[in-house]
Structure 1
Amino acid sequence: MIYYLSRDYKSNRINDAGSKARLDVEQVMDQLGFSPAGKRHSITKNRLFHFVRTIAIVVRMLLYVNKGDVLILQYPTKYYSIICRLAHMRGANVITLLHDLICFRNKHSSPQEEICQLNKSDAIIGHNPAFCKWLCDNGFVGYNGKKIIEPLRIFDFLSSSQSPDRKKTWPLHKVVYAGQLARRKNNFLYELGTYVEGYTLNVYGKGFDKSSAECPEKFEIKGFMLPDKLIESAEGDFGLVWDGDSVDSCSGDWGEYLKVNTPHKISLYIRCGLPVIVWREAAMAGFIEENGVGICIDSLRDIKKIYECLTRDEYEQMCDNVRRVSGLMSEGGYFSRAISKVVSRVTDLK
């Protein structure tokens, strides 16, 4: 049997990108016929209830998982090491889908400490090839040295909403930037207005102080919008993926993480029907180019050249490619492919 461990979600985080990605994975696993090891996910407002339900989920797992079964975990998760140990005591294999690395996000652990935890899993599904290489370079070997690792490539994004036909937006004149807009991660936005020429920037989210930005007239603040609504109504020609302080590169810790990370924002843009503009050194640059779903740049100053040089035929071809990839993502195609490969490799070793 193939089981997955569901979780209790905090109600104030249910619309976060991380929760959306996890809930989508759970839905795809249901579609694939996998079973929750206990109850399906729950949503809690009270912190004490959240703690109690989280403990109950772990304990209940022991009633389901047996020798030869597969247990799928989504990481980070509370009590990860304990869950892996208990599953192995029951004779089950553990497959872990990685959403984030704590050592990049908040420095609460070192890469060595985090790899030590992940080595308790029989197999890993990482974001992309660069992500998987980083894991191996930093010591990932897996439980009993199995070293099974597979790239997800991109996060699926389930929604019944349909994006508009972007090919009808020609001539082009708007770039979309969406997400959590805290200045510590998006400081470049406050400088970007100086270099915006020939287009405007539509900003979706909370926390951007337009009055403190250079050339504030270059920005249109759209506010926070739930993903389903954004897919249907995002106004723009491209979706921008960029982090850090500088317009000339994705600098600092956020830039380093972008070299291995697959931002969930890319999936959202593609489901919105938007070709993506991404930093050339980002891990996802290869996926963007290989699939023809956007343009890679060295500096945000280069966006002006895109608007000057891109032909209508080139843009329409990108839109067609985006629609193809979006269709696969809307069906859970990327996770389905990755988990099928990993389950096969894990069970073949038995």
Structure 2
Amino acid sequence: MSCFNIQSINNTVDGQATAVSKPIGDAIKTLAKLGSNDMGSIDSLPNIFSRKLISYKQLRTYFRDVSAGDTIFVQYPLYISYPAFLQVIYYLRFFKRCRLVFIIHDINSLRIDSDAGLRGMGHTNNATLSLKNELRILKLASDILVPTEAMREFIMNTKKVSANIVVFGMYEYLSNSLKMPVFQNQPTMIFAGNLNKAGFLSKLHQSDFHYEIYGKRPATFDLPSSLDYRGSFPSDELVSQFTGGFGLVWDGISANDISGVMGNYLRYNSPFKASMFLASGIPVVVWKQAAIANFIDQHHLGITVDSLSEAELIIKHLTDKQYAEFAGNARTFGLQLRKGARFLSVLEDTVNPGK
């Protein structure tokens, strides 16, 4: 039996550089340690009927080295048309008779946001139809690896998927350097990412707290002048810009609570920015109802709050000793994320169950 992995390399959202490529790239590197054969990006396969379908000849050629009984790791979702996605999965499952293992990065049905240009599976804004489309694919998996227990429960509660669903935890953030910086206590929150999805930033015009902002300037609103905008950097350069404080894991349109589609998505996913901050040795600020909140609390990796005003107050009164404990825990856990050992262990257990 051999292992292979397929994925899309989707580096942009609405023309903006995103962190999508690093979690996918890190998974490819970890799969290689397992002995998986990387089949590269599948994005170019659809080329007929307005690039929505794949010819049988293309499928046969692309997967010519795959044999019955092989394990295929699919980094889900594939950023190709829904009909083409179905073609690939059906071909591997029924024609090649492979074992399919899905590594979940996102469940698109949970984050449909037309304002941010995010559509569901099948390029639809209808959440019910999108979920139906996703389940047609997910139910063909033998194993599904998800980042949080909340996402596992969401899939299980559909009653449509019989696959073995395993929680692998926070996304790894691989790095060749195992030297972790030591940050000092300072009243700062850092936000980095797609700013078009961070409408809450526009509500901070009256705050006197120091916020450092990284990312391409949003097209949908103006950043308040009180925010310390630092510009946009590739993910591998971004972490070197941080000087201390807390990494902010927040989303949606409100600073007083979590609201909006992207805010609600925090109930299910493990934001990659949380891994980025922790792998940088920076503790995090997380919404109390986020899927990763309990983990952050249990391991003392930062603070969980109901609002940003609450976070501001806590950070302002934090002692150097308290911050040093948070930062020390972040460095210890961040080192694990840099090594990717936890995710590799889950992959090994998936390939060789019972060993």
Output the TM-score relative to the length of structure 2: 0.83
CA shift for structure 1 position 163: 7.1
Map of 2:210 onto structure 1: 200
* Alpha-carbon offset, residue 24 of structure 1: 1.1
Runs of 5+ unmatched residues, structure 1 = none
Aligned partner of 2:247 in structure 1 is 239
Counterpart of 2:312?
A: 304
In the alignment, which residue of structure 2 is the partner of 1:93? Answer: 99
**2-side partners of 1:130 and 1:208: how far apart?**
30
Change (3 A) 1:60 1:321: farther
Match of 1:124 in 2: 144
* CA displacement at 1:343 relative to structure 2: 2.4
User: Residue 81 of structure 1 aligns with which residue?
Assistant: 86
**Pairing of 1:24-63 with structure 2 (within 5 A):** 24-36=26-38, 39-41=39-41, 58-63=59-64
Q: Residue by residue, what CA displacement relative to the aligned partner does 1:125-145 show, whole Å, maximum 9, x if unpaired?
A: 112111101111122423xxx
Once the 2 structures are TM-superposed, how far is the Cα of residue 48 of structure 1 from its aligned partner? 6.8
Q: Give the letter aligned to residue 23 of structure 1.
A: G
Match of residue 325 from structure 1: 333
Alignment check: 8 A CA contact 1:163 1:233 kept: no
Structure 2: runs of 5 or more not aligned = 113-119
Contact 1:240–1:276 (CA under 8 A) maintained in structure 2: yes
Shift in alpha-carbon separation, 1:139–1:211, aligned structure 2, 3 A: closer
SS at match of 1:66: coil
Closer, same or farther in 2 for the Cα pair 1:140/1:330, shift >3 Å?
farther
Q: Is the 8 A contact 1:73 1:97 kept in 2?
A: yes
What is the deviation of 1:8? 5.7
Deviation (angstroms), 1:200: 0.5
RMSD across aligned positions (CA): 3.1
Instruction: Point out the structure with the larger helix share.
Output: 1
Structure 1 residues 100-144: Cα deviation after superposition (integer angstroms, max 9, x where no partner): 1121233425323322321011110112111101111122423xx
| Cα distance change, pair 300–137 in 1 and its aligned pair in 2 (3 A) | same
Give the Å deviation of 1:247.
1.3
After superposition, the C-alpha distances for 1:320-350 in whole angstroms (9 at most, x for unaligned) are 21112211111222321222232234x99xx
Corresponding residue to 1:180 among 177, 181, 194: 194
Instruction: Classify the secondary structure of the residue corresponding to 1:261.
Output: coil
Q: Does the 8 Å contact 2:11/2:21 carry over to 1?
A: no
Check the 8 A contact 2:10/2:21 in 1, yes or no: no
The secondary structure found in structure 1 opposite 2:352 is: helix
Task: Report how many residues are paired.
Answer: 332
Pick aligned residue for 1:150 from 162, 166, 179: 166
Check whether the contact 1:164–1:232 (CA below 8 A) recurs between aligned residues: no
Show CA shifts across 1:16-47 (max 9, x none). 222221111111111222113xx444998xx9
1:189 is paired with a residue whose SS is: helix
Q: Is the 8 A contact 1:126 1:151 kept in 2?
A: yes
